[in-house]
């Protein structure tokens, strides 16, 4: 039985760190691709460096760097991190025009070289970029997924664990909606060791933690000054890759294509899904409270505006 093949388009911090996590977990052989240019050899250098770590940590994975999409042919999973990063003071919306063009170019290649792959989009603004990936590849919506909910939930769980002084392993949480300021954490689906979080944290303090979660990426951008988050985004992406490669049937929040589900009408928004070899194998429809429903609708409306703005630029 052959190893799975995982191609990562974009060899910057998020892409390279995703390769690191995937290789260390022996999820498969990895192709790290970036565009030709002044730093054309960069993906080969990072791939070779990562390969040289394999004897130390004891993982078997062939990691290659390239500028040629032919090397990605027949991938089981394609992760797309390509795009310009968000800079201090820059909103996700500011990235829209440039990254939509990059996403188009990447997906035109992917649909030819890996027509049976599950595509995981990480590039921002996420909800619009994954919509663009679907439009260009023409793949079934179940095989084109956005990575957002896993990251946002991880941030939420981290802040809750810090607040309560408990293990992150004991925090179970869920967020929905768009990736960004309109995301919708669900206190009704948040527990600590099985105890509803509302019994442990006051509503006022919980809202402050929710607000910090929404601004989690911007907080790191502000601290780093010269870049954006990559450890947690890459870890979240690797968890999704693992769910697909190993058919884990993970119930996790992802940006999935919703039509009749939640009455969304044909857009990508963060919802709980079952993720396995087929990609999104099922979307879980929850009964939301009135306030959660209103917040979710507001988030969906923001995604629709973003996609509409993108349509005028591509």
Which are the catalytic amino acids?
Answer: 179
| Helices and strands (H and E) in the chain: how many | 10, 14
Are 299 and 183 in contact by the 8 Å Cβ rule? The answer is yes
- Both structure tokens of 267: 């857009």
Are 146 and 127 in contact by the 8 Å Cβ rule? The answer is yes
Give the CA distances from residue 198 to residues 202, 290, 297, in Å, rounded to whole numbers and listed in that order. Answer: 7, 17, 23
Separation between Cα atoms, residue 277 and residue 293, nearest integer Å = 30
| Beta strand extents in the chain (DSSP E only) | 5-9, 29-33, 63-66, 77-80, 118-121, 144-146, 171-172, 175-176, 184-185, 191-192, 195-196, 250-258, 267-276, 279-283
Q: Exposed e or buried b for every residue in 110-130, given b needs 16+ CB within 10 A?
A: bbebbeebbbbbbbbbbbbbb
Are 237 and 147 in contact by the 8 Å Cβ rule? The answer is yes
- Both structure tokens of 20: 């690191």
Separation between Cα atoms, residue 21 and residue 26, nearest integer Å = 9
Are 145 and 252 in contact by the 8 Å Cβ rule? The answer is no
């Amino acid at each position: 039985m052959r190893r799975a093949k995982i191609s990562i388009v974009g060899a910057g911090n998020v892409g390279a760190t995703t390769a690191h996590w995937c290789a260390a977990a022996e999820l498969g052989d990895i192709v790290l691709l970036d565009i030709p240019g002044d730093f054309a050899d960069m993906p080969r250098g990072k791939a070779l460096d990562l390969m040289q770590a394999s004897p130390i940590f004891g993982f078997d994975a062939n990691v290659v760097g390239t500028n040629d999409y032919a090397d990605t042919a027949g991938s089981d999973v394609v992760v797309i991190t390509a795009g310009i990063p968000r800079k201090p003071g820059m909103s996700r919306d500011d990235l829209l025009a440039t990254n939509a063009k990059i996403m188009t170019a990447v997906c035109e290649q992917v649909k030819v070289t890996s027509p049976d792959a599950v595509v995981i989009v990480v590039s921002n603004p996420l909800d619009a970029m994954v919509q663009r990936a679907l439009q260009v590849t023409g793949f079934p919506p179940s095989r084109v997924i956005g990575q957002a909910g896993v990251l946002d939930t991880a941030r939420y769980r981290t802040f809750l664990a810090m607040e309560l002084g408990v293990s992150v392993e004991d925090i179970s949480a869920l967020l929905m909606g768009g990736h960004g300021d309109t995301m919708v954490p669900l206190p009704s689906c948040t527990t600590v060791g099985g105890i509803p979080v509302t019994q442990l944290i006051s509503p006022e303090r919980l809202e402050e933690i929710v607000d910090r979660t929404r601004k989690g990426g911007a907080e790191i951008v502000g601290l780093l000054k010269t870049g954006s988050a990559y450890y947690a985004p890459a870890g979240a992406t690797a968890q999704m890759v693992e769910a697909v490669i190993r058919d884990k049937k993970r119930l996790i929040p992802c940006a999935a294509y919703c039509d009749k589900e939640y009455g969304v009408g044909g857009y990508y928004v963060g919802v709980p899904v079952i993720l396995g070899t087929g990609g999104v194998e099922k979307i879980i429809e929850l009964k939301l409270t009135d306030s959660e429903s209103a917040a979710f609708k507001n988030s969906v409306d923001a995604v629709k505006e973003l996609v509409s703005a993108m349509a005028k630029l591509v």
